[in-house]
């Protein structure tokens, strides 16, 4: 008899090769599965709400796992955190019904991208923000960002993961741009995101904010539905999965 456990997990993506299991074993999923195996004595499969790439961080990734051990949720949290690297933390655990699925039940996700716009990147922002040592035109960035809100074919802003996506149509509910000192954050709330979609959108927004791409060209690219080079992919280290909505 197994029970389904739902977890909320935070991680600093810098030391890991992303979420998805790999032969070398240094992914978030690998670390979680090893921790579970040490507690339960049997191999388990951890299902995440989505794969974050190498270097991408999470404030509240969600995952589920079927466990054969009837520990209280708080005990699970303690046991897992005692076995996991300090850069991966289980923040909450609870038992859910068997029809909950971390990925399939997800209604949407919130991603945040952090840009540090100043001549020098402070040591504490290293690997946590994209350092842009040139001045940004925030008004242009804001204007450009609005065009992504709504339901679009985002093929022009999707990476190639090897196999084609069933559909490249997604809905972005909101794009919020905020500035706090040298830190500019761009937050995307959407029903789902294609491979590298946020980083490709941020790359194009940055080009506009730096004056090396016109907003009209960005809109034409979005409307084209085609991945035409050259495309600027914002680095993974500035990206944070903030929350999964259910």
What are the residues binding its own copies (CB under 8 A)?
Answer: 10-12, 57, 77, 81, 86-91, 120-124, 126-128
Rounded Cα distance, 78 and 67, in Å = 16
Nearer to its own copies, 70 or 91 (CB): 91
**Minimum distance, C-beta of residue 5 to its own copies, in the bound complex (Å):** 17
**Minimum distance, C-beta of residue 85 to its own copies, in the bound complex (Å):** 9
Dihedral of alpha carbons 121, 179, 10, 200, sign: negative
**Minimum distance, C-beta of residue 42 to its own copies, in the bound complex (Å):** 26
Q: Is 98 a catalytic residue?
A: no
Nearer to its own copies, 90 or 201 (CB): 90
**Minimum distance, C-beta of residue 58 to its own copies, in the bound complex (Å):** 9
Encode burial over 175-186: b for 16+ CB neighbours within 10 A, e otherwise.
bebeeeebebbb
**Minimum distance, C-beta of residue 144 to its own copies, in the bound complex (Å):** 29
Nearer to its own copies, 72 or 120 (CB): 120
Residue labelled with tokens 């996991």: 84
> What is the widest separation between alpha-carbon atoms in the chain?
60
Nearer to its own copies, 2 or 81 (CB): 81
The two three-digit tokens of residue 180, written as one number: 């706090």
Out of 12, 53, 66, 191, pick the active-site residue: 53
Measure Cα distances from 47 to 29, 77, 122, 141 in Å.
8, 17, 35, 36
**What is the distance between the terminal CA atoms of the chain, rounded to a whole angstrom?**
26
Nearer to its own copies, 34 or 89 (CB): 89
Strands 150-153 and 169-180: antiparallel
Active site residues: 53
């Amino acid at each position: 008899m197994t029970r389904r456990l739902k977890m909320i997990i935070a991680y600093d993506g810098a030391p890991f090769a992303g979420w998805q299991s790999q032969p070398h074993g240094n992914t978030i999923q690998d670390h979680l599965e090893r921790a579970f195996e040490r507690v339960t004595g049997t191999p388990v499969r951890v299902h995440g709400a989505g794969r974050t790439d190498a270097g991408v961080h999470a404030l509240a990734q969600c995952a589920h796992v079927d466990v054969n051990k009837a520990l209280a949720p708080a005990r699970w949290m303690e046991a897992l955190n005692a076995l996991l690297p300090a850069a991966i933390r289980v923040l909450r655990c609870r038992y859910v019904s068997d029809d909950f699925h971390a990925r399939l039940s997800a209604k949407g996700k919130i991603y945040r991208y952090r840009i540090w716009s100043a001549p020098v990147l402070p040591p504490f922002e290293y690997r946590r923000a994209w350092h842009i040592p040139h001045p940004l035109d925030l008004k242009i960035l804001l204007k450009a960002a609005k065009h992504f809100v709504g339901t679009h074919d985002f093929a022009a802003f999707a990476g190639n993961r090897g196999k084609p996506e069933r559909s490249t149509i997604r809905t972005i509910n909101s794009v919020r741009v905020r500035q706090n000192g040298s830190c500019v954050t761009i937050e995307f709330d959407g029903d789902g995101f294609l491979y590298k979609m946020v980083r490709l959108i941020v790359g194009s927004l940055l080009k506009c904010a730096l004056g090396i791409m016109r907003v009209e060209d960005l809109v034409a690219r979005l409307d084209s539905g085609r991945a035409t080079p050259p495309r600027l992919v914002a680095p993974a280290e500035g990206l944070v999965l903030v929350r999964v909505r259910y």
